Amino acid sequence: MRDSGRLHRLCALLSAIIGIAISQQSSFAGTCPCDIYATGGTPCVAAHSTVRALYSTYNGPLYQVTRKSDSKTKDIGVLSPGGLANSAAQDSFLTGTTGSISIIYDQSGQGNHLYPAPSGNWPPAETAAAATGAKIMMNGHTVYGIYTTAGNFPNNTLVAGVGYRNNKATGLATGNQPEGMYMVCSGTHYNQWCCFDYGNAEANDTDDGNATMECIYFGSSTQWGHGDTLPTKGPWVMADLENGLFAGGTSGTNNGNTPIAASYVTGMVKGDSGNRYAIKGGNADSGSLKTMYNGTRPSGYNPMKKQGAIILGIGGDNSHTAIGTFFEGAITTGYPPDSTENAIQANIVAARYGSSVTATRYSVNDEVPVSPVRVHYNPSSGSAVVSYFLQDARRVSMNIADLQGRQVAAIFDGVIPAGQHQAVWNARQVPAGVYVWRIAMDGRDGWSGKIVIER
């Protein structure tokens, strides 16, 4: 018979950390998104990213940082052709001070760089994003995205939000010419307002009427059309065609456009030279794209009257009540085939947004805090506690299974913000035996550990 000191004793063993042990990579094998578009016959005419090159041979600057302390600037390039951003150069440049992202360079060769937007229908002019406002890990390497904020009205004084624009862009579709576009953005930083957009907009900062823009929107707006509201009210990938956000072919609800619950989201919009356009979306970390809509344009939006300017983080008239975080995107000439877009999604997944490098095993017999995971025994409550650290927001699912793989307890399933967290399993009601604690991140296995319960 076991002594009372061992009654309800919970011995926890973390057997493995499965986050796929990989070496840090500064470049990607094979092609990049704009190489794929070109192969499909729809070349990029604008390519923007602060996290990586969008061409396998690109070796130029991704963005410019302006230092607050002295207003000096520095271009931030890539670690190698076709590779990730050289974030260490930014970190060194900003040591002891802060800065902003003053230019997002166009990698396509068209010179379609993005700058803080001027004043339009919504004054004042937009501001540049904080240089370190969207720090994430990408394939084990630190990079920085474009963290946009909304304008507001403290003390009845209008304060600008963050947004970028180029009203003199070249090479983009105008009128009813065909085009395609994609972006990768945060799946957790959004709101219900208009408009966190990326794409083709008016060239004069004003609302020029229906069909004068064609952009990707991500958020939970229900002001115009919207997607399926079950089980949650967004967020959705939609199209901003001016004077309306559309989830499908009408300004109403499109139940085929389903919410996307993911840390990072791929959004796509494309329109042909007839009366057809499509919306696609998916998890940028795993899986394939879903076609949210493919059909005729809404009434009053054919033919299109596109003007060929570029916006990021704002609406066509510079409206800046929405928020979001942008990492990469491109605009093409021509209507991309589905096969090309599928290859783009596969390339994005391979880029490993939010992924850090780890292959460490931790002992659970000591109580020294470790990262990213530790497991310890709490004898006072008969529970197991998992402590873990997230470098950025992720969708986390935790459950307990027996050795036959049958789930015996669901601990948590939802989006967890960055930072240190704990999860607790009360094991008093289960019989003695061996159990497995399983943690998945964004639908992929993350950690698993054996739990031995003795009575």
Radius of gyration, alpha carbons of the chain: 24
Query: Is-catalytic flag, 317?
Result: yes
CA 294, CA 269: separation in Å to the nearest integer? 10
The conformational region for residue 388 under phi > 0 = left, psi -120 to 50 = alpha, else beta, is beta
- The end-to-end CA distance of the chain, in Å, is 10
Contact 233, 364 (CB under 8 A): no
CA 75, CA 313: separation in Å to the nearest integer? 21
CA 449, CA 12: separation in Å to the nearest integer? 8
HSE value, Cβ hemisphere, 13 Å, CA-based, for 229: 7
Contact 53, 107 (CB under 8 A): yes
Exactly one of 202, 205, 317, 392 is catalytic; name it: 317
HSE value, Cβ hemisphere, 13 Å, CA-based, for 302: 15
Q: Outline where 225-378 has alpha helix (H).
A: 338-350
- Amino acid code (one letter) for 195: C
* CA-based nearest residue to 262, from 242, 240, 234, 243: 234
Exactly one of 106, 242, 341, 392 is catalytic; name it: 242
Q: Active-site residues: which are they?
A: 242, 317
